[in-house]
Chain A
């Protein structure tokens, strides 16, 4: 039991554990929509895009959160609108918008080398740096995202399933997608300190695709992905503490290992069930 409770004597671990549980759950919950929209790469891309925004905010002496969230929001909107209004595919739009933004960040860092050290934490995640302000931001974003996903659950479900048809049925798809882009930018900013820019993409995608292997139900996918994200966030923190690796990497490695185990399990179950004849339901 000492192994479980000993790390909690350190304030940095307490802060980090709270942040990791919230961020893990939050990323997994939002990630369900991202995966189902076929935009798995957007988390990875946007996390890079906000890195550019954070650097610009630093240089212009803006508040980090305001600068990075605004930048991420604009990047997400640009990607959405490019996909909606042109024949450019989602992966290409994500590639162009986010890489350009990241490149801007890298260019500015190489120009103003004096602060490059502090951005290592942003790139790879650093639990030591989680402050009460970071936790307050994470709690705020978690509440905002949960509120949106709860009260706009059906609209977001229909928009994710088929945005064009949802519009015909009176769903304000433009506003739903705009709100979602804002929440996504917020989630990425909230997750940066724990996961790091390079790991957020996986934290968004891996829990939903793991649970997707086990269920065909949308609401179960949301609930179980969120639980998986939160639990792996906490266990990942322990791994980070005891093995002395970065928090983002340990959480993502744990999630990836669970994905592999689930994949093997599901493949074996399916190969057995192939021997059973498929039932026929009702008239065709």
Chain B
């Protein structure tokens, strides 16, 4: 099967500093690919190369068609939360604006946006300003914007950053659902356990591709330690994989300063110096 997007021998850097080296990556129709790697590994740069937002220094990036529909859910930190738009207005941004030249949306467009918000269980929040939503709800609004465009490839940058465990689980659940319906998905994540549980194809990146394959093959101590330059524990139970970085070998006493004058007070000294607040006593 011909890949939708194919990167061959791609190098990319900012100035003299090389961020990505010799990247070979094929994104086939219906694939669900997760990019993992430490901060600064080049994950977002690789996404932006796929999205045609950056140009490679060397190598080739080929798309199966020039009009390939690709949508993007950026990192939540890049969003201007004070911008005066409602959840529904954000979702409507995802529609093809060439089909409707008027500034206001058609009824069919609003219905489509509402249907997707309902599907993601935030339909009742459509009129709310984006700042007034929780992290998980905000993430779903941007997912809805990507979905309303009916993409062939959905690209997400850290979709679970800043959301609680339950919301993160829900987001991966929806993505799995979309992938089962045939959508091609490429995402980056720092959440190795979510990736191990939900992503069928994992690419381990640290400036170059260290390894790629199913999570059972990629989440091994040796590959992770090689990519992250740290020690990892990988536990396998039934079909589940749990990944945990080993804690720092030093005890806290070796890291914190001694409780001398001017230093941090230790627990005992805090207890001794604590006095009852007179205001509290009066009340």
Q: What residues make up the interface of A, taking CB atoms closer than 8 Å to B?
A: 36, 150-151, 153-155, 157-158, 160-162, 164-171, 212, 215-219, 221, 281-284
Contact = CB atoms under 8 A, between A and B. Distances in A.
Contact of B149 (A161, A169, A219, A284): A169
Interface string B113-131: 0000000011011001101
A128 B194 CA distance: 70
B122 A167 contact: no
Interface string B77-105: 01110011110011011101110010100
B274 interface: no
9 smallest CB-CB distances across A and B, nearest first, come from A153-B103, A284-B134, A168-B72, A216-B129, A158-B93, A218-B84, A154-B97, A216-B84, A168-B51
B71 interface: yes
Contacts of B121: 282-283
A168 B70 contact: yes
Contact of A281 (B84, B124, B166): B124
B257 to A, nearest CB: 37
B161 interface: no
A165 B122 CA distance: 22
Given A158-B93, A165-B74, A171-B97, A284 B86 contact: no
Contacts of A217: 84, 86
A218 B85 contact: yes
A17 B93 CA distance: 38
Contacts, number: 81
Contacts of A165: 72, 74
16 contacts: A151-B101, A154-B93, A160-B83, A162-B79, A165-B74, A168-B51, A169-B149, A171-B97, A216-B84, A216-B129, A216-B131, A217-B86, A281-B132, A282-B137, A284-B134, A284-B137
Contacts of A166: 93
B216 interface: no
A155 B164 contact: no
Contact of B74 (A164, A219, A281, A284): A164
B34 interface: no
B136 interface: yes
